[in-house]
Amino acid sequence: MRALPRLVALGWLLLLVVLAMLTGSRSARAEAPGARATPVHVLAIDSDDAEDQADALTGALRSRIRAAPAWSLQETQHSLGMLTAALRCPAKPDAACLQRIGDQLHTDRFIWGVLTKAPGQQVSAEVHLWARGKPDATAKETYSDNLKDQNDEVLRKIAARILDRVSGGPATGTITVHVGDAEGALWINGQRRQSLEHGTASVEVAPGTYTVEVRSSGFAPAQQAGVVVTPGQETHVALQLQAVHTTESPVTSGEGSHTDVRRIVAWTLVGAGAVAGVIAAVEGVRFLSLRSDLDNDRNKVPSNIPDVCAVNGATNPAAGTACNDFNGAKSARTTGVLVGSAGLVALAAGAALLLTDHGKEGDVQAQGTLGLRVLPYAAPREGGGVNVALTF
């Protein structure tokens, strides 16, 4: 690739044009620079004898820039070797070639580099930051050749050191918060940034002054303002979470669980009483309706028949109908009385439990302001039901 014939170079140029067309839309979707973010391309690191390590370093550099608030990564699939071949540059591009690469990428800065094998099972990386109108910035690193995973923590730290050197220093600092063993979330300047793991969270931010807050269930929010972050430094913040207590602790007194069970039973009784009241009202309406029908049908039976149910209904249909009305009315009355009585008992018991529940201070029951009224009603023609009124 270092001494390509002219025909192959022309082929590379055509390939470069095609790739530029294919990746144009992807570049348009690259991360937009923020108010302080500097856009930069990262070309794939070139290598003749350590391609896996070069790919891993490229990925680690790009990941580092994505995570840094001061940088905005511009996506590209171009490699240094592809561009130097297509633009007929020397193996190590000179200033004029770097200028043409910047024009080809339509950018004012890009990172490029080469990686070669070194003695002792190591590799040597030479990484440059080209910026239009500024001197070339270079960083060199030699490390073990077994670092072939871009997510390897050691390789990520190497990439961070390289970027710090070529950019003139660290572009970010770190806030690390400690709150014991509590779980929760870390908020920076009113924005949720990260969950706590075993009471600790670390966030990389641009240099500046921040307000740090931790929010955790069962605790009052803990906050510290004026946290100063300097480039390349880790700022530790220790916060104390204060538990939110009630007057009586359910853990020590057991009153909370007792109150919850009491209320469940109370509301179950109230609900059962209300349902029973509705059934009783319906049966009452049915009783009144059948009683009215019985009076009408009884007038159709001869007066010499005192007991309509003692007569064969087949021989005297009017007596049979009156007998059915009588039996139905009797059944409705019995059911209404029994179910209604049980409902009233359930309602009374449930209301008593609610009105005497003083499990937690501040509850409406403890304050004695809870009122419950249950008013069953029935009407022959309009139907029936139960009016339940709960006042606070």
Query: Which of 212-216, 313-317, 360-364 has the highest mean predicted lDDT (pLDDT)?
Result: 212-216
User: pLDDT band at residue 92, thresholds of 50, 70 and 90?
Assistant: confident
d(CA 16, CA 43): 13
**For the chain, what percent of residues have pLDDT higher than 90?**
29
d(CA 168, CA 157): 16
Is the domain 6-166 a CATH 3.30.530 member? no
Q: What is the DSSP string of 250-280?
A: HHHH-HHHHHHHHHHHHHHHHHHHHHHHHHH
Which pLDDT does position 207 carry in this prediction? Answer: 82
Which pLDDT does position 373 carry in this prediction? Answer: 55
Which pLDDT does position 258 carry in this prediction? Answer: 56
Q: In the predicted model, what is the mean pLDDT of the chain?
A: 77
Query: Side chain identity at 360, as an amino acid letter?
Result: K
d(CA 125, CA 66): 21
Query: Which of 177-181, 271-275, 357-361 has the highest mean predicted lDDT (pLDDT)?
Result: 177-181
Poorest-confidence range of 110-114, 189-193, 316-320, 385-389? 385-389
* pTM of the model as a whole: 0.41
Query: Which of 34-38, 172-176, 226-230, 316-320 has the highest mean predicted lDDT (pLDDT)?
Result: 226-230
Which pLDDT does position 189 carry in this prediction? Answer: 93
Which pLDDT does position 324 carry in this prediction? Answer: 80
Is the pLDDT assigned to residue 382 strictly greater than 70? Answer: no
Average pLDDT value for residue range 245-253: 49
Tens of pLDDT, residues 180-198: 888 899 999 999 988 988 8
Torsional sign, CA 155, 157, 160, 164:
negative
d(CA 337, CA 352): 22
Which pLDDT does position 236 carry in this prediction? Answer: 93
Average pLDDT value for residue range 52-63: 94
d(CA 31, CA 42): 13
CATH for the stretch 173-243: 2.60.40.1120
Structure token digits, residue 52: 């896996």
Is the pLDDT assigned to residue 22 strictly greater than 70? Answer: no
**Residue ranges covered by each domain of the chain:** 6-166, 173-243, 256-391
